[in-house]
Amino acid sequence: MGRPRQSYDGVVLTAPVSVPYERYSIETAHWWIARALREVLKRADLPLKDLDGFSVASFTLFPDTAVGLTQHLGLCPRWLDHIPMGGASGVVALRRAARAVQAGDADIVACVAGDTNQIDSFRQLLSSFSRFAMDASYPYGYGGPNANFALLTDRYMHEFGATRADFGRICVAQRANALRYPAAIMKKPLTLDDYLAARPIADPIALFDCVMPVAGAEAFMVMTEDEAIRRNLPFARIAGTIERHNAFADDPVQLRGGWAVDVDELYATAKCAPQDMDLVQTYDDYPVISMMQIEDLGFCDKGAAPDFLRDKDLTVTGDFPHNTNGGQLSAGQAGAAGGFIGLVEAIRQVTGQAGPTQVADAAKALVSGFGMINYDRGLCSSAAILEGAAP
C-alpha cells in the first residue's frame, strides 16, 4: 500500500453539458468539441480567453490532438491534457483536472469529449485501433468490439450461469430511462421479448446488447468551490476516485476489471459504502460489463450480479437507479464521449439538474469507466463517487 491519497477538498465539478447526439454527422470531431466547449463556457459565463485549462478526449480528431485544438479553437491554456482512454476518459479527465486546479496549475479546466460518426468512420477506427488489435484480433472475423465482448459474455455466462434474460433486463430498464431523456437516440420502447428475439450479431451478443455508434459531445468544468459559488453554479464534490490499467493481466478471460484492485480504497476515501449510493452510472458498452462493474465495485460478490439485479428495478424511479439517461445502450455511443456520458449525467443528478431523468433526492452517485479493448480485454478502468453540495 502506498501513501494515503489526498482528498479533493475545495475542488468541484460544474456545468454538465451534453450536446444532443446524431446517428451520422457530416461534421468533424473539432466541430462537436467546439459546440460542447462553447456551451460549458456559456454556462460558466467565462470568456474563451479566460479559460486556462483544457482537457480533451476523442478518437476522430486525427491528425490533431489537444494541441491542434488550441489553435483551431483559439485557446491559450496554461494546462493542457489529451486523454486517449476511451470509456475510462471521463473519470480520468476529472482526476487530472481536479489535481491541477487543487495545485493551482489551472483555475478552471474545461473537460470535453467528442467524436463524429461519419459513414464508414467506425470501420476505419476499428482498423487502426491498436497494434495488438491490428495484429491479433481484427484478422479473426473482424467482429470489432462485438466479437471481443461476445467472448467475455460467453465465458461469463458459462462461469456464473447468467442468462440472456439477465442481460436483457439491464437493456430494457435503460431503454425505459432513455424514453425520459430528450437527447437519447433510441426512442422506441424495448421489451424483454424484443431483446430476446433480436437479430444475433456475435453469439451470444444480439442487437440490443450493442451500442449504436453516433456523433456527439459531452463536457463539464472543474474549478474551485469558491469559483463555482462566485459564478453561481450548482456543483458536485469529488468524494473519491480510482484509476487502474491492465489489471489482472494473467486472468485468461476478463471476468473482472481494475476496480477490484482499488475498490476498498475508493470507499475508504469517500467514507461511504455501496449501499449509500443514490444512483450508479456504469460504463455500458455491453451489459456484461455493467455486471462486472456492479460486482467489482462491491454491490455484490463476483458472479452474483445476475442474481443481485434480478430483484432490482434499474429505472429512474426504481430501487437501484442505473444509467439514468439510458446510457450508451440507449442514448448512443459518441466515441470517447461514451466515457463521459455517465459522469455528466451524474453531475446533473447530484446537482438536481437532471430534469426528466432526475432521481428523487439524489445526493451520492457512483460513476465508473472502462475502456480500450487493446486486444482481448478492456485495459483502463476508473471510478468516482460524487456528492451533491449541501444547499
Interface residue list for another protein (CB under 8 A): 122-123, 126-127, 131-132, 134-144, 146-147, 150-152, 154-155, 158, 199-205, 249, 252-253, 375-376
Spatial neighbors of 145 by CB under 8 A, at least 6 apart, are 285, 286, 373
Q: Compare residues 47 and 140 and give the one whose CB is closer to another protein.
A: 140
Least separation, in Å, of the C-beta of 377 and another protein? 9
Least separation, in Å, of the C-beta of 213 and another protein? 10
Q: Compare residues 302 and 310 and give the one whose CB is closer to another protein.
A: 302
Least separation, in Å, of the C-beta of 72 and another protein? 29
Least separation, in Å, of the C-beta of 379 and another protein? 13
Instruction: Report yes or no: 381 and 356 within 8 Å, Cβ to Cβ.
Output: no
What separation in angstroms does the CA of 20 have from each of 17, 40, 334? 9, 14, 10
Q: Compare residues 120 and 319 and give the one whose CB is closer to another protein.
A: 120
Q: Compare residues 16 and 332 and give the one whose CB is closer to another protein.
A: 332
For residues 294 and 307, what is the distance between their CA atoms, to the nearest angstrom? 12
Least separation, in Å, of the C-beta of 212 and another protein? 14
Least separation, in Å, of the C-beta of 115 and another protein? 17
Handedness of CA 342, 23, 334, 129 (dihedral sign): positive
| Longest CA span, the chain | 56
Q: Compare residues 20 and 143 and give the one whose CB is closer to another protein.
A: 143
Q: How many CB atoms lie within 10 A of CB 26?
A: 10
Instruction: Report yes or no: 109 and 222 within 8 Å, Cβ to Cβ.
Output: yes
Least separation, in Å, of the C-beta of 221 and another protein? 36
Instruction: Report yes or no: 151 and 376 within 8 Å, Cβ to Cβ.
Output: yes
Query: DSSP characters for 251-268?
Result: -SS-SS-THHHHHHHHHH
Q: Compare residues 76 and 136 and give the one whose CB is closer to another protein.
A: 136
C-alpha cell at 91: 473519470
Q: Compare residues 202 and 385 and give the one whose CB is closer to another protein.
A: 202
What separation in angstroms does the CA of 155 have from each of 161, 254, 256, 374? 10, 9, 12, 19
